[in-house]
Amino acid sequence: MLLFILATLFASGLAVRRAVLSAQYERYGRPLPFDLESALNFRYVRMLFETGALPVIDSQVQYPLGVVVRQTYETGSEYICAFLARLFPKSIALDERVRWISAGWFCLGITALILWIWWWQGSLWGAALGGAYYAFSIASVIRSTGQELSHENFALPLLIACFAVSVLADRENTRFLAFIS
């Protein structure tokens, strides 16, 4: 039952995000440009996808001296995104791959939240309800369609997974302490 709930809410959350993105495509056309920090994030994903490396100094960002990429920007998500983008069929444009990855990665937080609540409260019903809220709430959906890229969206599933694992570790620690006393 748990696997069914995890898979259903993950897939449903991703489907909602893709539907919102499709509405944006219909309204503004395709390809939808990345802007502001998303444009820079996508540029670095594209560099990593095409060459496998980022420049030490990016002279295209700040004129005339450029910026030292690793001192100025957090670039961890771009490496993962570029790696995952290579797993898609070549017929899919890179920007579309990145949009799928961005929305899908964020939706991993749905499954992590379900596990967190289930392990913490012991209620599968409560966990499913919390996961559904995270999957379908307007605030959650609108920021994670893949239209824009952000490091926060990459970090949130990891943060939620840390909370889930910490609850599980606390439970195991409690069992261990009860066993030795």
155-163: Cβ within 8 A, 24+ apart? 155/77, 156/106, 156/109, 157/105, 157/106, 157/107, 157/108, 157/109, 157/112, 160/109, 160/112, 160/113, 160/116, 161/108, 161/109, 161/112, 161/116, 163/112, 163/116
Over residues 59-78, mean pLDDT:
86
Listed in sequence order, the residues at least 6 apart from 143 whose beta carbon sits closer than 8 Å to its beta carbon are: 150, 153
Residue 130: band (very low, low, confident or very high) from pLDDT cuts 50, 70, 90? very high
Half-sphere exposure of 129 (CA within 13 A, CB side): 6
Could you give the CA distance from residue 74 to residue 78 in angstroms, rounded to a whole number? 9
Could you give the CA distance from residue 119 to residue 111 in angstroms, rounded to a whole number? 12
Could you give the CA distance from residue 104 to residue 106 in angstroms, rounded to a whole number? 5
Residue 87: band (very low, low, confident or very high) from pLDDT cuts 50, 70, 90? very high
For the chain, the distance separating the N- and C-terminal CA atoms, rounded to the nearest angstrom, is 35
pTM, two decimal places = 0.89
Q: How high is the mean pLDDT of the chain?
A: 91
Sequence spans of domains, the chain: 2-176
Could you give the CA distance from residue 179 to residue 181 in angstroms, rounded to a whole number? 6
pLDDT at position 173: 64
Sequential DSSP letters for 28-71: H-SSPPP-HHHHHHHHHHHHHHHHS---SEETTTSTTT-EEHHH
Q: Is the pLDDT of residue 122 over 70?
A: yes
pLDDT at position 63: 81
Q: What is the pLDDT of residues 93-107, one digit of tens each?
A: 999 999 999 999 999
Q: Are 112 and 157 in contact (CB under 8 A)?
A: yes
Over residues 130-156, mean pLDDT:
94
Mapped onto helix, strand or coil, the DSSP state of residue 22 is: helix
Distance set, CA 125 to CA 39, 57, 100, 129, 162 (Å): 40, 51, 29, 6, 21
Q: What percent of the chain has pLDDT over 90?
A: 72
Q: Is the pLDDT of residue 70 over 90?
A: no
